[in-house]
Amino acid sequence: MRTHYDSIYLSPHLDDAALSCGGQIYEQTAVGKSVLIVTLMAGDPPGGPLSAFAQSLHERWQLATDVVAARRAEDAAACRILGADYAHWGILDCVYRTHPQDGQPLYPTWADVIGAIHQTEEALIARLAAQMAEFPASSQVYAPLAVGNHVDHQVTRAAAERCFGERLIYYEDYPYVAQADALTAVIPPHSPAWQARVIELTTHGIQVKTEAIAAFVSQVGSFFTDQVDLARKIGDFTALRGGERVWRQNGGWETAV
């Protein structure tokens, strides 16, 4: 861990930074800039029975044991491809989190996962914000917009805003942002409070991003049919955006650190 980074990326899960920002991360490290990817929800699931929904995810990922440890290893491989440092925090993924009083799953279905943050999660947001305050110094901090409304993305954004305020730069959550009207549910069209910037990617940068995403072997099948489909979808969406798009609010890029 360095004492200063040019950029710190907050990743709710062990693939979000690569999926959403892999190109820009590589373009930075390729010219000698330092990047740290911090994955918040990278803790091992608790012992005991899991919800039916969590079990179904494990089956989809084809990971029967040491599920999150395997995913952490995938993330380490992806970060090596991107040239970034990484940190894994021990917060549980939302599908493993339970009510502090009755032990019932907080998010037992996909509808819950893309719904409202459970009222008991305020303590988690405060805890994460306090941990973020201990980061190494950095020139830029990136957080998810929470496009798609995944609760872990919402929690990450809420904690980051509490810690960094208007200093934050926001990235578009892929693949959710590829869905029709997903972005406008978060940023209304022509909103004067938000300003976008497109980060152009080289052909090699797009290729490296694709390779980094492919390193998440357990997750590829959730979003792509195969490696060919992965390369095609990333290439098509990058062409549509002209690169990777990031956002600032209330003053825009004139106030960027």
pLDDT of residue 188: 92
pLDDT of residue 212: 98
pLDDT tens by residue, 152-205: 999 999 999 999 999 999 999 999 999 999 999 999 988 999 999 999 999 999
pLDDT tens by residue, 25-58: 999 999 999 999 999 999 998 887 888 888 888 8
CA distances from 195 to 139, 187, 189, 191, 253 (A): 19, 10, 11, 8, 7
How many domains is the chain built from? 1
Give the pTM. Answer: 0.95
Range of the domain at 100: 4-255
Terminal alpha carbon distance of the chain: 21
What is the rounded distance in angstroms from the CA atom of residue 82 to the CA atom of residue 13? 17
What is the rounded distance in angstroms from the CA atom of residue 125 to the CA atom of residue 163? 10
What is the rounded distance in angstroms from the CA atom of residue 196 to the CA atom of residue 231? 25
CATH number of the domain at 236, please. 3.40.50.10320
